[in-house]
Amino acid sequence: MAMAVDTRTLDFVALGILTVVVIFFIYLVIYIHDIPYEKAKERGHPHRDAIHVAGWVSLFLLHVLWPFLWIWAFLYKPDEGWGLETVEVKDTTKHKEEIEELRERLSRLEEALNRDRDKEESS
């Protein structure tokens, strides 16, 4: 004998599935609209709060502004800024030589300090 299922039970199951799908869809839309803000925050963007507010406005305007927010968030580079000014490339070999010279000076000073301590302890 097959077990009969009440049609009201199936209606409630369908309603539950529909509710879960709608909640998931709403969460997905909110998550997607927040991507430019998260990238701006990750990059230390100076206008990250404005991007966040514009993202919410875009959410209510059916994401019309969203592509522009994406571009706005990615235009700013953490190391270079907006990229409008010329970045001077520095010669790192000079810095390496200076660092090595400073390390040698530091080791000589430490040796001299240790010699002075040894003289004071022995006397």
Torsion angle of C-alpha atoms 100, 106, 109, 110, degrees rounded to 10: -120
Token pair for residue 90? 């520095």
- Look up the pTM and report it: 0.58
Rounded to whole angstroms, the Cα distance separating 106 from 112 reads: 10
Those residues whose C-beta lies under 8 Å from the C-beta of residue 58, and which sit 6 or more positions away, are 33, 64, 65, 66, 69
The identity of residue 46, as a single letter, is P
pLDDT given at position 91:
67
Contact 17, 53 (CB under 8 A): no
Tell me the pLDDT tens digit for each residue of 51-107.
Answer: 999 999 998 898 899 999 999 999 888 877 777 666 566 666 778 888 899 999 999
The residue ranges of every structural domain in the chain are 8-83, 90-123
pLDDT given at position 36:
94
